[in-house]
Amino acid sequence: MDDPSARHRELSRLIEEANRRYYLDDNPELTDARYDELMRELIELERKHPELATPDSPSQRVGAAPSERFEPVRHHAPMLSLANVLDASEFAEWYRRVLEGLPSERLQAQPDIFQPPGKVRLAAEPKYDGLALELFYSDGVLVQASTRGDGATGEGVLANVRTIRAVPLRLRGQAPPLAVVAGEAYMRKDDFAGLNRRQEEAGGKPFANPRNAAAGSLRQLDPRVTASRPLCFFAYHLVNAEELTPPVVDQGEAFEKMAAWGLPVNRELLAVHDDPARIADFYLRMSEKRHDLPYEIDGIVVKVDRLALRDVLGAVARSPRWAVAWKFPPERAVTRLKRIKVSVGRTGVLTPVAELEPVKVGGVTVSSASLHNSDEIERLGVLAGDWVEVQRAGDVIPEVVGPLPERRDGSQRPFVMPGSCPACGEPVVRLPEEVAV
């Protein structure tokens, strides 16, 4: 597609649809890798053609607009999403940009924030795979709770959050007039397994993963449903830390303050170091330890420790410059693609699906994966009968990475999209400029 404007519209449509499925339907379809690929292409397109970067572009947003089923709640400060890095070189590049963004006249009055000189202290913690929440405490009492929404306005879920036993309804000790806390609602692995067992026994559909279960449980219209679900919570950010008296100065002090108020924080897995190499060591330890933790994590979050430096670094449209998510690579396994069948969606779209010999990937048995469309099959170069590499992208959605051509024995066959619909027998039509049929 040579028309930049048309490509921008298509990218925007795909990303907005992905946002809607992820944030509002709690049923993501795109993998994290594919979403990031689309977003990077959109941002690069807007860099080359600045006139396309309109205020309503997905590059300027975080998530999706709040559902009309819940009361909209304005955030105390924008709840931005985090930029991702995928390896040590990208992390080093992020750290370099942090250092470049700090020298300024505003820092001359506080030279002590560089410890040691030329380096910036970083704080790292696990990246929990759940649903982000913002909690408001007025004079120590929980008065408001909201989801991320579009970053500026979220969905009011106070009645549901009040059912989470880990969330204190009243802070302990000397609470300030206002405390704004961000954290993650999540579900422990064993609780998730128990919930799915009960779902199946009751004839219901099991949840795909703990993240979907947590998100779906929190966004219920009936708080009694939420109360029946085993939700947990970790606080990880004191939003109005610098407005307190005296102001909080760093991440460690914020954790101490929140813990003193009775909020659950994960102090045991907070790593604070002056040397970014030590943060890289923490990443490796977490990647090795992740399966032993009682909850799901999909990487680590690295933040500039001192809050004064965060103010200097600021943010871009979608994410803060002072924090980054260093995500784990998807876990992979090899299995045989037995055949490619065609699934007919509710709107009549035909989707090829890889039927796989069951294989364990990241602790979950995978037996099928969407191949999306015939163009994707051609891009991957897979044949029915191939040995293929599969992964759970974002540790959630099964996907075929590609074939192992060296293991072919001549029995493999190319896939051909049927000429008629398997469900109704009508002729299959592919619309111009569309990949779906």
Q: Is 259 exposed, middle or buried (0-12, 13-18, 19+ CB in 10 A)?
A: middle
Determine, yes or no, domain membership for 235: yes
Q: What is the mean pLDDT of the chain?
A: 88
Determine, yes or no, domain membership for 415: no
Name the packing angle between helices 276-289 and 88-101 (round to 10°). Answer: 140
Note the pLDDT of residue 57. Answer: 80
Question: Are 98 and 164 within one domain?
Answer: yes
Determine, yes or no, domain membership for 312: yes
Determine, yes or no, domain membership for 294: yes
Question: Are 44 and 130 within one domain?
Answer: no
Note the pLDDT of residue 24. Answer: 53
Note the pLDDT of residue 140. Answer: 93
Q: What is the distance between the alpha carbons of residues 428 and 422, in angstroms, rounded to a whole number?
A: 10
Question: Are 366 and 240 within one domain?
Answer: no
pLDDT tens for each residue of 155-166: 999 999 999 989
The total number of structural domains that make up the chain: 3
Question: Are 32 and 102 within one domain?
Answer: no
Note the pLDDT of residue 208. Answer: 78
Question: Are 300 and 360 within one domain?
Answer: no
Q: How confident is the model at residue 303 (pLDDT cuts 50, 70, 90)?
A: very high
Complete DSSP assignment for 52-103:
G--TTSGGG--S-PPPTTS-EEE-SS--PPPPEE-SHHHHHHHHHHHHHH--
pLDDT tens for each residue of 15-73: 888 877 775 566 777 887 788 889 889 989 998 998 998 766 888 655 556 667 899 99
Residue whose structure tokens are 């009960």: 198
Question: Are 292 and 307 within one domain?
Answer: yes
CATH code of the domain covering residue 362: 2.40.50.140
Q: What is the distance between the alpha carbons of residues 90 and 110, in angstroms, rounded to a whole number?
A: 29
pLDDT tens for each residue of 363-372: 678 999 999 8
Question: Are 20 and 155 within one domain?
Answer: no
Indicate whether 99 pLDDT > 90: yes
The encoded tokens of residue 390 equal 């599969």
Rg (C-alpha) for the chain, rounded Å, is 23
From 327, 361, 388, give the residue that closes a domain.
Answer: 327
From 297, 327, 357, give the residue that closes a domain.
Answer: 327
Determine, yes or no, domain membership for 434: no
Output the CA–CA distances (angstroms, integers) from residue 215 to 16, 207, 327, 328, 363, in the order listed: 19, 11, 20, 21, 21
Question: Are 41 and 162 within one domain?
Answer: no
Question: Are 337 and 239 within one domain?
Answer: no
Question: Are 358 and 241 within one domain?
Answer: no
Number of H-type helices and E-type strands within the chain? 11, 16
Reply yes or no on whether 289 is catalytic: no
Peptide bond into 116 cis (omega under 30): yes
Give 425 or 272, the one with higher predicted confidence: 272
Question: Are 350 and 319 within one domain?
Answer: no
Note the pLDDT of residue 73. Answer: 96
Question: Are 307 and 400 within one domain?
Answer: no
Q: Whole-prediction pTM value?
A: 0.74
Q: What is the distance between the alpha carbons of residues 347 and 415, in angstroms, rounded to a whole number?
A: 23
CATH code of the domain covering residue 250: 3.30.470.30
- 8 A C-beta contact, residue 122 and residue 302: yes
Note the pLDDT of residue 178. Answer: 97
Q: Which residues contact 23 (CB under 8 A, 6 or more apart)?
A: 63, 64, 147, 148, 149
Determine, yes or no, domain membership for 421: no
Q: Which residues face 295 on adjacent strands?
A: none
Range of the domain at 14: 4-60
> Which of 191-195, 204-208, 236-240 is least confident?
204-208
Catalytic residue among 48, 119, 127, 289: 127
Determine, yes or no, domain membership for 66: no
Q: What is the distance between the alpha carbons of residues 416 and 355, in angstroms, rounded to a whole number?
A: 15
Q: What is the distance between the alpha carbons of residues 62 and 78, in angstroms, rounded to a whole number?
A: 9
Note the pLDDT of residue 293. Answer: 95
Q: How confident is the model at residue 134 (pLDDT cuts 50, 70, 90)?
A: very high
Indicate whether 108 pLDDT > 50: no
The alpha-helical segments, DSSP class H, found in 202-268 are 210-218, 223-227, 251-260
User: Per-residue pLDDT averaged across 220-228, rounded?
Assistant: 90
pLDDT tens for each residue of 322-365: 999 999 988 889 999 999 999 887 777 888 999 999 998 876 78
- 8 A C-beta contact, residue 183 and residue 142: no
